[in-house]
């Protein structure tokens, strides 16, 4: 049995800055504490990008400080809000693939995790900055990792969903070559689950027969109307993280709304 926790879209900011009035550190710390308390047996925590909001030094330093006393092993990839070079400078222990992308494989006893880097690598302010891609080099690397997994079940972790999720604005900035990605994984037939972030909402389903799950952010969430085109609208709803547990014949996917759990616990403690 393998248990993996997923935190996505942390959007860490420099001290004193907030998103819709919310402090990312104040929202993340209770989530990490909840995870450490409820799932001390987790094999790993994976952070699926948008670690910071501006990709700046101060925010990566702050995230490092927040993670410093966290007891579980953590693996990280980046999202569109991150800056690859700045991230690597602050997290030099994160392994990169041979082309310098923040991609790695982790083999557990009963599955292989493949962590992908979908960051476009363009300057902030570029019109395509929010979108994602897996370039030829990254797809070739993925091809090798899936071939090497053979018939071991594979779970892929990536920031940008490789298909539409139903939100008009977010669908415009999904992985731009999702069908090429799906062509590749279909050739191997061993990917059992895709886990993504980017959308800031709990979404699951399947695309071309492959199950996917998207989790909420600890911080701010996507408003529910599907037609919203402005991707910068956000709502203050409880933060969450995901939990994946392998079983003898499959995989369980849970989402933990830890903010609700914490407020319920405080109410019980008070009573
Ligand atoms: Fe995000």
* CA 192–ligand 1 middle distance (angstroms): 24
Comparing CA positions, the residue from 67, 76, 79 lying closest to residue 24 is 67
CB 173 within 8 A of CB 64: no
Each of the 271 residues of the chain gets a pLDDT tens digit; together they read: 999 999 999 999 999 999 999 999 999 999 999 999 999 999 999 999 999 999 999 999 999 999 999 999 999 999 999 999 999 999 999 989 999 999 999 999 999 999 999 999 888 888 888 999 999 999 999 999 999 998 899 999 999 999 999 999 999 999 999 999 999 999 999 999 999 999 999 999 999 999 999 999 999 999 888 888 887 889 999 999 999 999 999 999 999 999 888 777 777 777 7
pLDDT at 172: 95
* CA 198–ligand 1 middle distance (angstroms): 5
pLDDT at 263: 76
* CA 149–ligand 1 middle distance (angstroms): 30
* CA 30–ligand 1 middle distance (angstroms): 19
Percent of the chain with pLDDT over 90: 86
* CA 222–ligand 1 middle distance (angstroms): 9
* CA 200–ligand 1 middle distance (angstroms): 6
* CA 50–ligand 1 middle distance (angstroms): 5
* CA 144–ligand 1 middle distance (angstroms): 29
* CA 130–ligand 1 middle distance (angstroms): 9
pLDDT at 231: 79
Question: pLDDT tens across 175-215, in order?
Answer: 999 999 999 999 999 999 999 999 999 999 999 999 999 99
pLDDT at 266: 76
Place of tokens 């994160």: 94
CA 157 to chain CA centroid, Å, is 7
pLDDT at 265: 74
Half-sphere exposure of 97 (CA within 13 A, CB side): 21
* CA 51–ligand 1 middle distance (angstroms): 8
pLDDT at 208: 98
Question: pLDDT tens across 148-180, in order?
Answer: 998 899 999 999 999 999 999 999 999 999 999
Indicate the domain borders of the chain: 3-270
* CA 160–ligand 1 middle distance (angstroms): 9
**CATH code for the domain defined by 3-270:** 3.60.21.10
pLDDT at 39: 98
């Amino acid at each position: 049995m393998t248990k993996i926790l997923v935190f996505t879209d942390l959007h860490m900011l420099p001290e004193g800055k907030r998103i819709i009035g919310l402090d990312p550190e104040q929202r993340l710390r209770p989530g990490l504490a909840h995870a450490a308390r409820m799932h001390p047996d987790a094999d790993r925590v994976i952070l699926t990008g948008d670690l910071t909001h501006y990709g700046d030094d101060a925010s990566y330093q702050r995230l490092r400080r927040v993670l410093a006393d966290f007891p579980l092993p953590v693996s990280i990839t980046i999202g569109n809000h991150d800056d690859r070079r700045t991230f690597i400078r602050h997290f030099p222990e994160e392994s990169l693939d041979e082309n310098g992308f923040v991609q790695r494989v982790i083999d557990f006893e009963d599955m292989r995790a493949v962590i992908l880097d979908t960051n476009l690598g363009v300057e902030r302010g570029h019109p395509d900055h929010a979108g994602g891609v897996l370039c030829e080099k990254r797809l070739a690397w993925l091809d090798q990792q899936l071939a090497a997994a053979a018939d071991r079940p594979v779970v892929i972790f990536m920031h940008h969903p490789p298909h539409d999720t139903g939100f008009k604005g977010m669908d415009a900035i999904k992985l731009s070559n999702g069908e090429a990605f799906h062509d590749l994984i279909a050739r191997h037939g061993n990917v059992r689950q895709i886990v993504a972030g980017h959308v800031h909402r709990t979404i699951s389903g399947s695309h071309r027969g492959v199950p996917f799950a998207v989790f909420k952010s600890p911080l701010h969430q996507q408003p529910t109307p599907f037609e919203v085109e402005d991707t910068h609208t956000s709502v203050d709803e409880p933060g969450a993280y995901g939990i994946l547990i392998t079983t003898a014949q499959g995989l369980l996917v849970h989402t933990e709304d830890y903010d609700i759990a914490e407020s319920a616990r405080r109410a019980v403690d008070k009573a």
